Amino acid sequence: MDSLHPNRSNLEDEEEMDTKPLKHDDSAPTSSPSWFTPKRLLSIFCVINMINYVDRGAIASNGVNGSLGTCTDGGTCTSGSGIQGEFNLSNFEDGVLSSAFMVGLLVASPIFASLSKSHNPFRLIGVGLSVWTLAVIGCGCSFDFWSITICRMLVGVGEASFISLAAPFIDDHAPAAQKTAWLATFYMCIPAGVALGYVYGGLVGDYLNWRFAFWVEAIFMLPFAVFGFVMKPLQLKGFSPIESKTSSTSVEIASPVIEDSEVSDINGHDAVRVEGIMAQASDKGSESEGAFGIMNRFSRFSEDMKVLLLDKVYVVNVLGYIAYNFVIGAYSYWGPKAGYNIYHMSDADLLFGGITIVCGIFGTLSGGLFLDYMGATISNAFKLLSGATFLGAIFCFSAFCFRSLYGFIPLFSVGELLVFVTQAPVNYVCLHCVKPSMRPLAMAMSTVSIHIFGDVPSSPLVGVLQDYVNNWRETALILTSILFIAAGIWLIGIFLKSVDKFNEGDENEVSTVEKANMKPLLGVNRNEMIDDPGEA
């Protein structure tokens, strides 16, 4: 904990700043919870991320997903198991179910990122986790294909708030010398969570019922959803409250009115009249905000998107990430089947799963630690991304060239270890190449892009390729070659002029008093907040 002492005071000061009651008195005392340290923030977010990906693994496990019933030629039939067996789903419907959460995730990610400009991001995470918890309960209570599909979409909606906002929070409060190591710890939960989900889903599905797997997940997530509302909210770096802008607009509206009015006696009734004019102007400002709020938000979103698309560093980083995710997504889906056909592995699922888990955890952590050792800069991140991906591609490509399984396993393991080194650096670039107020949107659009253009189309396209060439070794080699393209794209980033904008001033940065006026997520009465200064 000693290594965090220089940063802890900054975090506590920021908490005080962001959670001060809506009062005009700057001297009002505020206390921040002494137990809420940066390391605990990281731990909480890691557990939440782990639960998210346990759910991904659980619904894909044999115990939860199950199989259709079968009948022999002799007329002996066995009943199906899990979701597929109970709802009698075709393989296509089962495939739709496994990826339905993507719809909610892709639609809601930019929405939550945009809302973070006018509502406290910490509270938005609470809303998202609440939606996630209710949706997972709904999955356990579903009664047919459409009911569980809709619930899976809502799971994606709930996850969207966390995916867009957690990484910026971690980057804000991580020690300066360990930022990518902290991001690596967070993203390490992805392979670990999926692996745990396979085991968890199998055990619960076999010994209880597939529905219990979802209900238990909801029980574990519920405390974190509540935590998002009861904990004093943190504020992301570079964000200003929408109300500070509204207040200034109201004053501007009121000022000319007051100047034109004939105020002759400040101690008489005219003072009351001035207050009435101010209140009327404030009401007009609120009406105006309600009328044009949606239009203004859409306009601001369009402007922010234009900034992202014109940022060469951001675009190159995401393009490389798309090519990388295209390969990783296809590996995760087709890897076991390719291994079974090329090397006749009877336990291909276990082998590929084990390699991915171990290499995913150690590779992700190593990437963060190595970038911190090199010096966490955007240029160094691109060097690590390009170099590790290029070497990983060589090892993976060589692995599929081997005829022997004993040659394939060590080469492919080293290749996957190097490929997973990219997780922390690629997200570091995404967070640091834009202004602080743009980070949630940058993360959201990165997530949307790598799924829409990466892992979502890769599986069916690789299937089409395999149908055409009818040779799994050739298909695997062609797929792996795309990693060289990813390395080449990230190589371009080394030569781009890059500026770390983490500490760059932003037009949205405001004073302590203005930050205290962050718009409540749930319509809390302003007068009640003033009367009760102890309420966060």
Q: What digits encode the pLDDT tens for the residues 47-69?
A: 999 999 899 888 877 788 777 77
Q: 425 in a domain, yes or no? A: yes
Which residue has 């889906």 as its token pair? 333
What pLDDT score does 27 carry? 35
What pLDDT score does 518 carry? 44
Task: Looking at the structure, tell me whether residues 222 and 318 fall in a common domain.
Answer: no
Instruction: Among 221, 236, 251, give the residue marking a domain's end.
Output: 236
What pLDDT score does 347 carry? 67
| Cα angle 333, 472, 359; round to 5 | 45
Q: 109 in a domain, yes or no? A: yes
> In the chain, what's the furthest Cα-to-Cα distance?
104
What pLDDT score does 35 carry? 62
Confidence of residue 461 (pLDDT cuts 50, 70, 90): confident
Confidence of residue 239 (pLDDT cuts 50, 70, 90): low
Instruction: Among 216, 236, 256, give the residue marking a domain's end.
Output: 236
**In whole angstroms, what is the distance from residue 223 CA to residue 208 CA?**
24
The answer to whether residues 13 and 44 touch, using CB atoms and an 8 Å cutoff, is no
Q: How far is CA 57 from the centre of its chain?
A: 17
Confidence of residue 398 (pLDDT cuts 50, 70, 90): very high
For residue 78, give the 3-state DSSP assignment.
strand
What pLDDT score does 501 carry? 85
Q: 261 in a domain, yes or no? A: no
Is 496's pLDDT higher than 60?
yes
Distant-in-sequence contacts of 325-328, Cβ < 8 A, 24+ apart: 325/450, 325/451, 325/454, 325/455, 325/458, 326/453, 326/454, 326/455, 326/457, 326/458, 326/482, 327/458, 327/479, 327/480, 327/482, 327/483, 327/486, 328/419, 328/455
Task: Looking at the structure, tell me whether residues 320 and 454 fall in a common domain.
Answer: yes
The pLDDT tens digits of the residues spanning 353-386 come to: 678 788 888 999 999 999 999 988 999 999 999 9
Task: Looking at the structure, tell me whether residues 219 and 310 fall in a common domain.
Answer: no
What pLDDT score does 348 carry? 65
Q: 406 in a domain, yes or no? A: yes
CB within 8 Å of 106: residues ≥ 6 apart: 156, 447, 448, 451, 452
Task: Looking at the structure, tell me whether residues 358 and 231 fall in a common domain.
Answer: no
Q: Can you tell me the mean pLDDT for 226-252?
A: 60
Confidence of residue 484 (pLDDT cuts 50, 70, 90): very high
Q: Can you tell me the mean pLDDT for 390-396?
A: 96
Task: Looking at the structure, tell me whether residues 388 and 312 fall in a common domain.
Answer: yes
Number of domains in the chain: 2
Q: Can you tell me the mean pLDDT for 394-415?
A: 91
Task: Looking at the structure, tell me whether residues 206 and 340 fall in a common domain.
Answer: no
Q: 230 in a domain, yes or no? A: yes
Task: Looking at the structure, tell me whether residues 107 and 228 fall in a common domain.
Answer: yes
What pLDDT score does 280 carry? 55
Q: Which structural domain, as residue segments, surrounds residue 137?
A: 36-68+80-236
79 against 485, higher pLDDT = 485
**21-25, 138-142, 454-458, 494-498: segment of lowest average pLDDT:** 21-25
Instruction: Among 184, 216, 236, give the residue marking a domain's end.
Output: 236
Confidence of residue 505 (pLDDT cuts 50, 70, 90): low
**In whole angstroms, what is the distance from residue 198 CA to residue 61 CA?**
5
Q: Can you tell me the mean pLDDT for 293-303?
A: 76
The answer to whether residues 446 and 454 touch, using CB atoms and an 8 Å cutoff, is no
Task: Looking at the structure, tell me whether residues 458 and 316 fall in a common domain.
Answer: yes
Is 17's pLDDT higher than 70?
no
First vs last C-alpha separation in the chain: 27
* CATH number, domain with residue 85: 1.20.1250.20
Instruction: Say what percent of the chain tops pLDDT 70.
Output: 74
Q: Can you tell me the mean pLDDT for 157-184?
A: 86
Q: 106 in a domain, yes or no? A: yes
Q: 258 in a domain, yes or no? A: no
The pLDDT tens digits of the residues spanning 19-28 come to: 333 333 333 3
Mean pLDDT of the chain: 77
Confidence of residue 172 (pLDDT cuts 50, 70, 90): confident
Task: Looking at the structure, tell me whether residues 53 and 142 fall in a common domain.
Answer: yes
Task: Looking at the structure, tell me whether residues 203 and 322 fall in a common domain.
Answer: no
The pLDDT tens digits of the residues spanning 83-113 come to: 888 898 887 787 778 778 888 888 888 888 8
Q: 113 in a domain, yes or no? A: yes
